[in-house]
Amino acid sequence: MTRKPSLLLLAGALLATAAGAADTDAVVQAWPARRPLRDAALEARVEAALKTLSLRQKIGQMTQPEIGAITPDEVREYAIGTVLNGGGGWPGQDRAATPAQWRALSEQFQAAALQATPGIPLLWGTDAVHGHNNVRGATLFPHNIALGATRDADLVRDIGRATARAVRASGLHWAFAPTLAVVQDIRWGRTYESFGADPALVKRLGQASVEGLQEGMKDGRGVLATAKHYIADGGTRRGIDQGVSPATPAELAQVHGAGYLGALDAGVLTVMASFSSWTDSAGHVEHGKMHGNRLLMTGVLKDRLAFDGLIVSDWDGIGQVPGCTVDDCPAAINAGIDVVMVPLHWKPFIANTVKAVEQGRIPIARVDDAVRRILRVKLSLAATTPVPATVEALQAPELARRAVRESLVLLKHSPGLLPLKPTARVLVVGPAADSLAHQSGGWSVTWQGRDTSNVDYPQGTTLLAALRQRLGATRVSYDADGSQSDPKDFDAVIAVLAETPYAEGEGDVRITENLRHSRRHPQDEAVLQRVSGRGAPVVTLLYSGRPLYVNDLANRSDAFIAAWQPGTEGAGLADLLVAPADGKPWPGFTGRLSFPWPAGPCQFSAREARPWWPVGGGLSGRETRADARPLPEPADPAPICPL
């Protein structure tokens, strides 16, 4: 006799289904409905191209190897649709490769791809996140946290345009930028990739960045932009990289989603999935890794928001989906990933994925949808470019110098100290004052930006060099640790303190640490101790990827400037430190914080209620009065912060 399921069980199942459906609806309904904008002629070309492809070729189009792991012959043999160079990936593994060498390799890949799939070009993607930062000679702009402090959308659009030109000059087509994170905990190692803590600012600047990058797509001057990392990459608990982001459906849409609405308004054609996971903190549902989240990638982004571009996975990100490996993950493709960034294990990935389709574990309709999206993106972009493969095409120094000026935030100032006179004699201290690595931060020539030296930035100007140019070498004395000089022999001391460059999780402030800069960089505190209160005013600049606790350092300074990571154009720093010699008006400090600045070593929250400075904070340098009271310094300078 078959037992009928008890009514109670049935009711429970129905309730659970209804609750699940309600949760799903709540997630989707939290977003504004958008309508697809289709171009009939483009769609006809897409359909015609799709028909020419075999299953293996379709999967080849969905595969993105790293350039160091594939040859042009293999691109042809496997009909590969796209490649990338990772941070620190260069043609021939040569960091000094010229734009012409980048261009030549790109043309080899392209020729091979067009032999395999005539009329369907290959795309080469790269992390051009503050200029074309992998290529020697490129101008490096301040990172997004600095651009957030400018609040200047026109500047951000111009930077996008200049970056697109540089990417095209090297023969590439796709920038994995902008990051649209709305960071909630500044311990995250990628805080500097974010424009700020205000969703409206992230939306406005994210839209401008995409507009600048994609503007000239059709005539070969522009590139594909990437809205990343979808979604809530900056919302993880304790800022743990690739961690879990608790958010209600409304917070997901209104806070973490704001940048994506701006990017979609700008017509962004690619989105990169986030390594992080989402937990619905209203419905108490753990949705797990974004790379396997069909509700958000397909239900929300592709259906509700009518995104008809492509979703690319992050570096081996499919391997983090439960039940998957880096070379085998039907779940991620079924959830909505269209291009799989599988840098090294791309051959087994292709074999496994073809088999999964043949066995029905991936519907062919899903593959066709993915390839349609890839073709739509490819056919929206001119495959060739008029931009010359020259170093000059990688550079925009005056634009970068302007960005540096507009991004600096003055947190403390003795009225009248700045600007220094053009005849001032200055003592410069701090090893970072002559380091383009510290001046540029992560994602600079290499992934972490740490293992580089000034020779890697022939186009760059350190602050020290800029001061020598501005004041004359005889008026500038450099003493890296401040131990060889007597400050009273000078009109002012300029001290440069810096975080060691980092990228991604390597930059996370661990839960056993805190935000006190002196704790993590005691040598900086020592330098300041040697020069502070010794007969000359001290102007301190901090190169950092995030706000830090610096009360002890600010108390030993007469001016304190948040300089973020200015990039290659140190002249922009000197523009605000020294009065113009030609009598032009001094611009003053217009940068204002896009994150709160901590008043204590444990103030991690981007929504801190009682910071030293709030979002929007900062001085102009023209104030006539200053609060001379020293900032409080806790008895225990290095507490273990509450979890």
Question: Can you give the binding site for ligand GLC, defined by CB under 6 A?
Answer: 84, 86-87, 127, 176, 228, 314-315, 504
Catalytic site includes residue 233? no
List 127, 233, 504, 569, catalytic entry: 504
List the beta bridge partners of residue 427. Answer: 477, 493
Q: How far is the CB of 504 from ligand GLC (least distance, A)?
A: 6
Measure the CA angle with vertex 230, ends 229 and 236; round to 5°. Answer: 75
Residue with tokens 């973020």: 564
Query: Cβ closer to ligand GLC: 206 or 600?
Result: 206
Query: Cβ closer to ligand GLC: 86 or 598?
Result: 86
Q: How far is the CB of 340 from ligand GLC (least distance, A)?
A: 13
Q: How far is the CB of 443 from ligand GLC (least distance, A)?
A: 9
Q: How far is the CB of 171 from ligand GLC (least distance, A)?
A: 18
Query: Cβ closer to ligand GLC: 343 or 487?
Result: 343
| Element housing 105 (H / E) | helix 99-116
Query: Cβ closer to ligand GLC: 189 or 611?
Result: 189
Whether residue 79 contacts residue 57, with contact meaning beta carbons closer than 8 Å, is answered with: yes
- φ, ψ dihedrals at 61, nearest 5°: -65, -25
Residues in contact with 356: Cβ distance below 8 Å, sequence separation at least 6, in sequence order: 328, 330, 362
In the chain, DSSP finds a helix count (H) and a strand count (E) of: 21, 17
List 314, 316, 406, 569, catalytic entry: 314
User: What's the one-letter identity of residue 477?
Assistant: S
Query: Cβ closer to ligand GLC: 241 or 406?
Result: 241
Query: Cβ closer to ligand GLC: 86 or 234?
Result: 86
Residues in contact with 2: Cβ distance below 8 Å, sequence separation at least 6, in sequence order: none
E-state strands within 367-526 = 409-413, 426-429, 476-478, 492-498
The tokens for 269 are 């054609």
- φ, ψ dihedrals at 246, nearest 5°: -85, 125
Report the greatest alpha carbon distance in the chain.
101
Q: How far is the CB of 127 from ligand GLC (least distance, A)?
A: 5
Burial 236-246 (b: 16+ CB within 10 A, else e): bebbbbbbbbb
Whether residue 409 contacts residue 561, with contact meaning beta carbons closer than 8 Å, is answered with: yes
Catalytic site includes residue 47? no
Q: How far is the CB of 66 from ligand GLC (least distance, A)?
A: 9
Q: How far is the CB of 84 from ligand GLC (least distance, A)?
A: 6
CB atoms < 10 A from the CB of 93, how many? 10
Query: Cβ closer to ligand GLC: 158 or 314?
Result: 314
**Residues with active-site annotation:** 314, 504
